[in-house]
Amino acid sequence: MVLTVDKISELKSILQGYRDKGNKIGFVPTMGALHKGHISLVERSVEENDITVVSIFVNPTQFNDTNDLKNYPRMPEKDISLLNEAGVNLVFMPSESEMYPEPDSRVFDFGTLDKVMEGKFRPGHFNGVAQVVSKLFDIVNPHRAYFGEKDYQQLAIIRAMVGMLGYNIEIVGCPIAREPDGLAMSSRNLLLTPEHRQSAPDIYKTLADARNKTDEFSVKEMISWVEKQINSNPNLRVEYFELVDADTLLPVSSWEHPNRIVGCIAVWAGKVRLIDNLEFKK
């Protein structure tokens, strides 16, 4: 039976007991409203570690839109039931005052990593992510931590943060989980109207079609083509589509680019903002 803890001191004490016995600890940080994508991360942690900890905390410092924070779906009882079924040992559900007894004024310098794409359109978002994830890492001190590749830029920034702060934690990136119609699983999908939910799979369909057209279009032409295709659906509006270096996240100008190329996109479906990505070149 999964144990739910809301105090940092209690969690640290329990985990130290496991650590003293030589147990490997896996950690999956979440904001709740769990779906099969989250559960795929959890199942991998359960498989690869002796003890799995999942945190559920809607972190206010990573929201640059107060309405987004207010509307973020919350369903703790359902979440705990899912985690219990998945074999999780501990669920950490702190209050905001437990995590932030005083404001966190730390500012992280990620160079260009957090200035492009999501960082450009959501200023301060990744600084908030780094604040909360570093706090959680300090509390849990896991051997491994699991993050979904849907948040591709976030994964890159977490890896950079681990290097900057000297954590001895293996960061495991896990493949995007998709609905049968291709839509990337996201807690925000719950907020889509039926009409917008019907249109949303066009995002992945367009990316998958585009990947087969790299012989037809230059990088610049490809960006225009993808934007035009998605924007032709009246229920969708592209905020950005970028073809970037898989490591630096900087835009590429040619398919001859020496490193892997990833296409990253953000699309508004009504009032809900959806992100996705797909590898265009290995």
Catalytic residues: 38
Exposed/middle/buried for residue 270 (C-beta within 10 Å: 0-12, 13-18, 19+): middle
For helices 202-211 and 219-231, what crossing angle results, to 10°?
150
Strands of 19-105 (E only): list them.
Answer: 25-30, 51-56, 90-92
| List of residues 6+ apart from 75 with CB closer than 8 A | 32, 33
Residues 137 and 272: their CA atoms lie apart, in Å, by 30
Q: Output helix, strand, coil percentages for the chain, rounded to the nearest 5.
A: 40, 20, 35
**Cα–Cα nearest to 58, from 119, 132, 117:** 132
